[in-house]
Amino acid sequence: MTTLSLDPNIQETIDAWLAGNYDQATKSEIQKMIDQGDKKALTDAFYKDLEFGTGGLRGIMGAGSNRVNKYTLGTATQGFCNYLYNTYSGEQLKVVIAHDSRINSKLFAQLTAEVFSANDIYVYFFEDLRPTPELSFAIRELGCHGGVMLTASHNPKEYNGYKAYGKDGGQLVSPSDKAVMAEVKKIQSIDAIKFDKRERNIEIIGKKMDEKYLDALVSLSISKEAIQRQKDLKIVFSPIHGTGGVSVPPVLKKFGFENVMVVEEQATPDGNFPTVVYPNPEEQEAMTLALKKAKTVDADLVMATDPDADRVGIAIKNDKNEFILLNGNQAACLLIHYVLTAWEKAGKLDGDQYVVKTVVTSYLIDKIAASKEVPCYNTLTGFKYIGELMTQLEGKKTFLAGGEESYGYLVGEHARDKDAVVSCAMLAEMTAYYKDQGSSLYQALLNLYEEYGIYKEKLIALTKKGKSGAEEIQAMMDGFRKNPPTSLGGSDIVTIKDYKSSTSLEVASGEKTRIDLPSSNVLQFFTEDGSIISARPSGTEPKIKFYCSVNDQLPNKSDFEQVEAGLNKKLDRILEDLGAK
């Protein structure tokens, strides 16, 4: 029995782990925290069970019910197995498993495969690291009932995770994710987990699936002639020690690009991510080496993918020949506009096509789609909701492209998750397309702003770690609901959308309407001047995120810097009003 004064529920969980059939290494790690009197570490490790969020199961590696380890992943997998048997009774069940370059990812992938195989579920196993979107593709290609990707995406090196996928190749959404967790909660002992693998149920896959995946991406190319004329386009690419190195250079080659330069210092897969603070292409720091190489070779385009290659960051040159980073909203706007324009020029837009974005992604995309008379659907935050909508519309309408502000995009219907591999290929194609016209991505962006107005977005994420942090985040959301702001950035609030209660409130009239989306802990404030401010706790990290969007007209491209400066001031004022700055 432990002797520290802890919450009784936490104490009970710790005692169960010390007394249960866990390996000695796990028990020793727990005992070390006890011997050191580290109440905070014990509390954070045991105060809850890991749960599926917008990105699946994700957390810090280590011993504990709230940590990623053999037993939490084993429990999740056993629960997933039980769910599959309940859902597809009588069928021969099949799954695909893949992993990225993170510490323990391959070990966790093997463990997951073993549990599935022990449950008599046939496993297609990517023995070597592969990008997340290829897993999504493989589930669909092989007619599987689900799949698992072992990754923590762009999180720090201490993290790992478990993305669970359904039959459609998309991440699990409600009610499936809730059903899996219900099965997980039924497992009261790790003795209920089947760890003894059955070799006959595991098949290694790799190169043949790679070719099918890459061929599917190449079939999406729209501007082949422009690529041929611009095949020497200078492209600098970094996988940031992750899986992007497996697929991005090959797909760029297949598209026809002959001058792709990989950042050598970040080419080798390494879960320690030794050259960056965080392996996150959203952060400028993670792009440092790629930008350095780009300046040396005078590149036309710079791209970097996160460890599991579902997100991509890009840098382009402005009119002063300086490299600038595009944010996720800007890249999504450019990419979706390019795809729509190319389809329009080819005479292929016939009313059956659509695009998708999330509610916190730039509403410039809505304006672009409306101008082409193409529906733009808005989903909850998390690409799994985009994938869910694609599945609902499959065979009825044609999905062209989708994106979210967190650097995740998809072109084509081959997958049901964001795909940095196809995004890199299409971003390169788009660059070649504009260069072939004597233009650039920067000029294309200014042209968008001149036609539709400048949309400027800013994301602020406040980190609140551990149990106390989770409570603090919840208190902030409760405060916004009980006492919502009446104005932000000097403009009155006219509409408040609460996705948790699925209601939209018109402030002046008090009229309420229903939001036809699943319940989610998100608040949105719409101001009189067209600004949109969203507050949302992260589903995968101990953070609360504030998404702010402001806009203004751009009378002339020469006024860009002046108008942008005004919008930046407005953004800062909004964040001050929210107490997030």
Q: Which residues are catalytic?
A: 153
Of the candidates 525, 527, 546, the one whose C-alpha atom is nearest the C-alpha of residue 536 is: 546
Query: Residue 161: what are its φ and ψ, rounded to 5°?
Result: -165, -175
Would you call the peptide bond into 269 cis, given omega within 30 degrees of 0 as the criterion?
no
**3 state SS of 358:** strand
398 in helix, strand or coil? Answer: strand
Q: What are the angstrom distances between the C-alpha of 189 and each of 77, 85, 206, 299, 327?
A: 14, 20, 35, 56, 46
Buried residues in 543-559 as b, exposed as e (16+ CB within 10 A): bbbbbbbbbbebeeeee
| Cβ-contact 360, 547 below 8 angstroms | yes
Instruction: Choose among 217, 442, 219: nearest CA to 331.
Output: 442
- Torsion sign (Cα): 227, 230, 232, 237: negative
Give the torsion through C-alpha atoms of 53, 57, 59, 61, to 10 deg.
180
- Reading the block at residue 6, the tokens are 């802890």
Distance in angstroms (rounded) separating the CA atoms of residues 439 and 300: 11
In the three-class reduction of DSSP (H, G, I as helix; E, B as strand; rest coil), residue 506 is classed as: strand
What whole-number distance in Å separates Cα of residue 543 and Cα of residue 1? Answer: 34
Three-state secondary-structure class, residue 575: helix
Backbone angles phi, psi at 356, to 5 degrees: -140, 145
The pair of structure tokens assigned to 188 is 């009261």
Burial class (CB in 10 A: 0-12, 13-18, 19+), 145: buried
d(CA 66, CA 44): 7
